[in-house]
Structure 1
Amino acid sequence: MRTISKRLLKERAKVDNRLLYDVTNALKLVKATSSAKFNESIEAHISLNLDPKYADQQLRTTVILPHGTGRSIKIAVLSTPDKIDIAKAAGADIVGTDDLVEEISKGILDFDLLIATPEMMPKLAKLGRVLGPKGLMPSPKAGTVSTDLEQTIKDFKRGKLEYRVDKTGIVHISFGKKIFSEDQLSDNLYAFYRSVEKNKPPGVKGKYIKNLAICSTMGPSIFIDLSSLV
Structure 2
Amino acid sequence: MNINDALEFVKKNCKAKFDSTIEVHINCNLNKDKQEAVRFSLTLPHGTGKSKKIAVIASKKIVGADLELSDEDVGKLEKAQLKPKNDFDILVVEPRYMSKLAKVAKILGPAGVMPNPKNGTVTEDVQKAVDLFKKGRTEIRTEPNGTVIHTIIGKRSFTTLSLAENYQELMSALALNKPQKAEAGWIKDVFISATMSPSAKVS
Conserved? CA contact 2:25–2:190, under 8 Å:
yes
- TM-score of the superposition, structure 1-length normalised? 0.83
Contact 1:117 1:147 in 2 (8 A): yes
**Cα deviation, residue 205, structure 1:** 2.7
CA–CA separation in structure 2 for the residues paired with 1:129 and 1:165: 19
Which portions of structure 1, spanning 4 or more consecutive aligned residues, are displaced by more than 6 angstroms? none
Q: Which residue of 2 aligns with 1:48?
A: 28
Identity across aligned pairs (percent)?
A: 38
- TM-score, normalization: structure 2? 0.94
What are the Cα deviations for residues 67-95 of structure 1, in whole angstroms up to 9, with x where unaligned? 11111110000123xx1x2x1x2x00001
Does residue 37 of structure 1 match 2:17? yes
| Correspondence for 1:171 among 149, 152, 157 | 149
CA distance in 1, matches of 2:94, 2:71: 13
Verify: 1:156 aligned to 2:133, yes or no: yes
Aligned counterpart, 1:222:
200
Looking at secondary structure, tell me which structure has more helix per residue.
Answer: 1
Shift of 1:206: 4.6
Cα distance in 2 for partners of 1:52, 1:116 equals: 29
What's 1:60 paired with? 39
CA distance in 2, matches of 1:68, 1:98: 31
Q: Distance in 2 between matches of 1:106 and 1:178?
A: 39
Corresponding residue for residue 100 of structure 1: 73
Aligned to 2:7: 27
Which shifted more, 39-48 or 200-209? 200-209
Work out whether residues 78 and 100 of structure 1, in 8 Å CA contact, stay in contact via their aligned partners in 2.
no
Structure 2 unmatched runs, 5+: none
Match in the other structure for 1:201: 179
Aligned length: 198
Alpha-carbon separation, structure 2, partners of 1:168 and 1:116: 27
Structure number, greater radius of gyration: 1
Instruction: Report the RMSD for the aligned CA atoms in angstroms.
Output: 1.1
Q: Please say if residues 47 and 136 of structure 2, whose CA atoms lie closer than 8 Å, have aligned partners that are also in contact.
A: yes
